[in-house]
């Protein structure tokens, strides 16, 4: 080993020892696992802080324009190994741990992941920060420091049980509290308009204050000189001791008030499907929006003196509509605190804001009851009202007399405030997250808006960071790739293509195959250790891992398993060319009944097929508990097949599909979201595409022509599979447990046929699955497809995504 490396290793060891001594009064010999983790993490943090401070200087000196990325969710996951890789010190730390005789894996396992998000949207925000930092673009992410992140899921007697995720219990090592930068957030009260020297001014009175205290976390991109900042806000009661109420003897009331204020940042809402107009959620969103905007204006004024130059120095991206209240909040600050006139303020606001949409489903578009909104946020309400009046006037010019259209497009109508409409009306750019999704926004969801402002709409396909989703989670494959093409693909995604010439190289393919086999063993060990279930790495691993949603169609896979069960049990001559392990991992919103029923169904199907003397040789079904970033890191590298089977037109993009692809799984999917673009990259020989196209689905919806019962009557296999839900075959106590699922597939809910077209794609899915199994038996051929998927995944790097955002929208300098 080179001399330099030896001294680096000594240095790291000394730092760790020093941290142990000073923080805990311990030595390398007697430190607990937790203390060891903390000490190591602190030593890594020191290295990041050096860069962070320098980056701050550089931003100030060069007066760089900065991105504010506002998001109610940041699903960052564990940070330790990721940070070591980014700082290029992983091998050094491994050597240190070896030297002191401490297991590196144990260190890794000790970290509690930050699960401050539900799924795709939150993980996207985390990938973006990593990529922005990697390409050295200045960004601050603003979010909420939820005390409880996404719930921990346990399966008890087949049912999902939620447990609180108290991730901060051990104190988060990565964050730094910045109490001196706290902001005051005002709720409720009344607004009085008064004429003063500067014209009509609004004064907000009798409000309730809550303080927002920021916690900053450096997010280290790969070999970056510009770590990103993630600023998470925590709610705190203003006065530690409210003497006034105390004196009145209102002690209990005082404590209650305090609890109420601090409840704002208590818990992440676990719903990402449809949402009731919850007061606390609205409080959370305004809390984030106001804190971020006050902080931005304050910082800008400190640097540049006044607010008029804001558009030159900041740009804001809002991750779906959840932080959209930042729009009227910035208006409020500019009007009420900075004394600008409406047009001047509106000009600034509309030039700095940009909005990303992540869903086309009506039930997930945010709308707030007008009265509730008005009483919680009276001043913000009056600003939105004024924006609505002006916008309605514009609409009237564009569509004279078309009342239906105008009320459909307004920001406020039918006693509701519609956040998406406000965003589209005000923002400079509106973007979808895949090409298909972008087109659907223009031609369906927001088509009337597209008519009046076609230039605003764009589509920028999502991406993932190849650091976490390859280097961290699949070190063996990363090493193999580096052996063939060097490791520059870790910061230049285009390099990954250079693997293509090796696709026919026998020895490359052999290693590729072996690595997949090892990763399958690693997963098998994990599943045995954590759930006490044996899975055989010789089986094909078919994985569907994502939130539980009807549109994602976990049910389609379940029905197909029942179909295979029927064939295997009814026909002794039938067998599968290769045995299959079907892995599911998914959290359901606690209030989403149907989703929870589907989890119960998966458990029942598992009990059935895993215990039947014949089927257990061919099929194994496992539901993996508590899907989160850390589990994804073990699961994804082990997959042979990636299930991406949503109803076409419903999955805005999907990002799991990209993670699986990068790790050499072949996609079995519909023409939905970014699957369409995966197909463009890999070609149809390297993907298994089936099912109705988005336009066919849209057509059936328009004509109301989908008739599942007719399909059912004409298809014996479908009848037999579906009957299993209600004929008492499934081992559950209540024989009617799955009646609702059965009925909704066949007859829909209320008067509309199943909105997710599960039975429509049943046959196509089954046929394509047969092709999958046949292809899998040709080992060489299969590995080639898998490797092509990896080689073609460069396009889906979030480095490419943020670069596109930058060229089209942000215009930041490196």
Catalytic residues, by residue number, are 358, 546-547, 552, 655, 659
- Cβ nearer to ligand 26Q, comparing 497 with 804: 804
Distance CA 790, CA 803 (A): 21
Per the listing, tokens 């609409």 go with: 395
The residue number whose beta carbon is nearest to ligand 26Q equals: 120
Q: 189 is written with which tokens?
A: 């009260």
Contact 109, 525 (CB under 8 A): no
In this complex, which beta carbon is closest to ligand 26Q, that of residue 137 or of residue 798? 798
Residue with tokens 């961290």: 472
Query: Which lies closer to ligand 26Q via its Cβ, residue 73 or residue 242?
Result: 73
Q: Which helix (H) or strand (E) holds 253?
A: helix 251-262
CB of 382 to ligand 26Q, least distance (A): 22
- As measured in angstroms, the least distance from the Cβ of 549 to ligand 26Q is 8
Q: How far is the CB of 74 from ligand 26Q (least distance, A)?
A: 12
DSSP string of 600-651, one letter each residue:
HHHHHHHHHHHHSTTGGGTEEEEEESS--HHHHHHHGGG-SEEEE-PPTTT-
Nearest distance from residue 644's CB to ligand 26Q, in Å? 10
Residue 752, by phi and psi: left (phi above 0), alpha (psi -120 to 50) or beta? beta
Residue 704, Cβ density class (10 Å: 0-12 exposed, 13-18 middle, ≥19 buried)? exposed
In the complex, the smallest distance separating the C-beta of residue 776 from ligand 26Q, rounded to whole angstroms, is 27
**Minimum CB distance to ligand 26Q, residue 126 (Å):** 11
Q: How far is the CB of 325 from ligand 26Q (least distance, A)?
A: 12
535 burial level (CB within 10 Å; 0-12, 13-18, 19+)? buried
**Cβ distance to ligand 26Q smaller for residue 268 or 609:** 268
Least distance from C-beta 653 to ligand 26Q, angstroms?
4
| Distance, CA of 416 to CA of 729 (rounded, Å) | 47
- Which residues are near ligand 26Q by CB under 6 A? 118-121, 124, 272, 275, 281, 322, 358-359, 364, 366, 433, 462, 651-655, 673
326 — alpha (psi -120 to 50), left (phi > 0) or beta?
A: alpha
Least Å distance, CB 120 to ligand 26Q, is: 3
Nearer to ligand 26Q, 125 or 608 (CB): 125
- Please state the φ and ψ torsions of residue 233, each to the nearest 5 degrees: -100, 135
* Distance set, CA 799 to CA 16, 135, 653, 718, 796 (Å): 33, 7, 17, 44, 8
By the 8 A CB rule, do 334 and 340 touch? yes
Q: Which is it for strands 176-177 and 208-219: parallel, antiparallel or unpaired? A: antiparallel
CA–CA separation, 74 and 56 (whole Å):
22
DSSP conformational letter for 467:
I
Helix runs in 622-735, H state only: 629-635, 656-662, 675-682, 694-703, 708-714, 716-723
- Kindly tell me which of 437 and 724 has the beta carbon lying closer to ligand 26Q: 437
**224 or 284: CB nearest ligand 26Q:** 284
Nearer CB in complex with ligand 26Q: 87/665? 665
C-alpha distances in Å from residue 265, one per residue of 71, 233, 276 = 14, 8, 19
Half-sphere exposure of 335 (CA within 13 A, CB side): 24
Say which residue the tokens 């458990």 belong to.
603
Structure tokens at 673: 């979201």
CB of residue 123 to ligand 26Q, shortest distance in Å: 8
CA triple 239-243-247, angle to 5 deg? 155
Q: What are phi and psi of 788, to 5 degrees?
A: -60, -40
Q: Measured from the CB atom, is 282 or 485 closer to ligand 26Q?
A: 282
Radius of gyration of the chain (CA): 27
Residue with Cβ nearer ligand 26Q (204 or 468): 468
Which position has the token pair 């223009």?
Answer: 442
């Amino acid at each position: 080993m080179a001399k330099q490396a030896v001294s680096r290793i000594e240095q790291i060891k000394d730092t760790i020892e020093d941290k142990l001594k000073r923080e805990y009064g311990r030595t390398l010999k007697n430190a607990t696992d937790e203390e060891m983790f903390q000490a190591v993490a602190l030593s890594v943090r020191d290295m990041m802080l050096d860069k962070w401070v320098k980056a701050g200087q550089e931003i100030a000196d060069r007066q760089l324009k900065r991105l504010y990325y506002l998001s109610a969710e940041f699903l960052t996951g564990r940070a330790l190994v990721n940070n070591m890789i980014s700082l290029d010190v992983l091998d050094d730390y491994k050597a240190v741990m070896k030297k002191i005789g401490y297991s590196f894996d144990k260190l890794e396992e000790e970290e509690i992941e930050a699960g401050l998000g539900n799924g795709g949207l939150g993980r996207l925000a985390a990938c973006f920060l990593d990529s922005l930092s990697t390409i050295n673009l200045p960004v601050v992410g603003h979010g909420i420091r939820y005390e409880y992140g996404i719930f921990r899921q346990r399966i008890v007697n087949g049912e999902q049980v939620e447990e609180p995720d108290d991730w901060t219990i051990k104190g988060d090592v990565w964050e730094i509290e910045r109490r001196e930068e706290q902001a005051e957030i005002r709720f409720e009260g009344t607004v009085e308009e008064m004429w003063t020297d500067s014209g009509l001014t609004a004064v907000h009175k009798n409000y309730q204050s809550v303080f927002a205290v920021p916690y900053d976390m450096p997010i280290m991109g790969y070999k970056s000189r510009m770590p990103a900042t993630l600023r998470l806000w925590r709610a705190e009661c203003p006065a530690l001791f409210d003497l006034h109420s105390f004196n009145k003897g209102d002690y209990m009331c005082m404590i209650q008030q305090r609890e109420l204020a601090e409840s704002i940042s208590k818990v992440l809402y676990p719903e990402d499907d449809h949402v009731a107009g919850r007061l606390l959620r609205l409080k959370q969103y305004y809390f984030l929006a106001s804190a971020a905007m006050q902080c931005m204006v304050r910082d800008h004024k400190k640097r540049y003196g006044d607010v008029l130059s804001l558009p030159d120095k900041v740009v804001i991206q809002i991750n779906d509509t959840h932080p959209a209240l930042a729009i009227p909040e910035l208006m409020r600050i500019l009007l009420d605190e900075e004394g600008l006139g409406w047009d001047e303020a509106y000009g600034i606001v509309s030039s700095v804001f940009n909005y990303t949409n992540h869903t086309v489903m009506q039930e997930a578009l945010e709308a707030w009851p007008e009265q509730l909104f008005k009483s919680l946020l009276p001043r913000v309400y009056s600003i939105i009202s004024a924006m609505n009046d002006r916008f309605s006037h514009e609409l009237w010019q564009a569509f004279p007399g078309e009342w239906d259209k105008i009320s459909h497009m307004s920001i406020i109508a039918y006693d509701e405030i519609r956040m998406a409409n406000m965003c589209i009306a005000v923002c400079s750019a509106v973007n979808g997250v895949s090409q298909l999704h972008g087109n659907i926004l223009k031609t369906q969801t927001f088509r009337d808006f597209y008519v009046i402002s076609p230039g605003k709409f764009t589509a920028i396909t999502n991406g993932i960071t190849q650091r976490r989703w390859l280097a961290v989670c699949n070190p063996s494959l990363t090493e193999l790739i580096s052996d063939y093409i060097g490791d520059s693909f870790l910061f230049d995604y285009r390099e990954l293509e250079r693997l293509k010439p090796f696709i026919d190289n026998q020895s490359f393919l052999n290693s590729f195959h072996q690595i997949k086999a090892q990763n399958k063993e690693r997963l098998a060990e994990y599943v045995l250790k954590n759930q006490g279930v044996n899975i055989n790495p010789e089986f094909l691993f078919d994985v569907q891992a994502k939130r539980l949603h009807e549109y994602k169609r976990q049910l389609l896979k379940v029905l197909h398993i029942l179909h295979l069960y029927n064939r295997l049990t009814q026909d002794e001559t039938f067998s599968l060319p290769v045995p299959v392990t079907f892995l599911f991992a998914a959290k359901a919103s606690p209030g989403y009944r149907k989703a929870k029923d589907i989890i119960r169904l998966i458990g029942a199907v598992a009990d059935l097929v895993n215990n039947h003397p014949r089927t257990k040789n061919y099929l194994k079904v496992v539901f993996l508990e508590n899907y989160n970033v850390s589990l994804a890191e073990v699961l994804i590298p082990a997959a042979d097949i990636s299930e991406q089977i949503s109803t076409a037109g419903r999955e805005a993009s999907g990002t799991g599909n990209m993670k699986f692809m990068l790790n050499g799984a072949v996609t079995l999917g519909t023409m939905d979201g970014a699957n369409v673009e995966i197909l463009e990259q890999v070609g149809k020989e390297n993907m298994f595409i089936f099912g109705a196209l988005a336009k066919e689905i849209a057509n059936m919806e328009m004509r109301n022509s989908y008739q599942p019962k007719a399909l059912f009557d004409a298809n014996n296999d479908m009848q037999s599979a579906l009957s299993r839900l209600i004929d008492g075959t499934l081992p559950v106590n209540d024989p009617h447990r799955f009646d609702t699922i059965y009925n909704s597939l066949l007859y829909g809910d209320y008067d509309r046929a199943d909105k997710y077209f599960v039975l429509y794609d049943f046959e196509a899915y089954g046929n394509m699955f047969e092709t999958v199994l046949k292809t899998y038996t040709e080992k060489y051929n299969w590995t080639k497809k898998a490797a092509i998927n990896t080689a073609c995944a460069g396009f889906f790097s979030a480095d490419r995504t943020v670069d596109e955002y930058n060229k089209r929208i942000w215009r930041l300098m490196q």
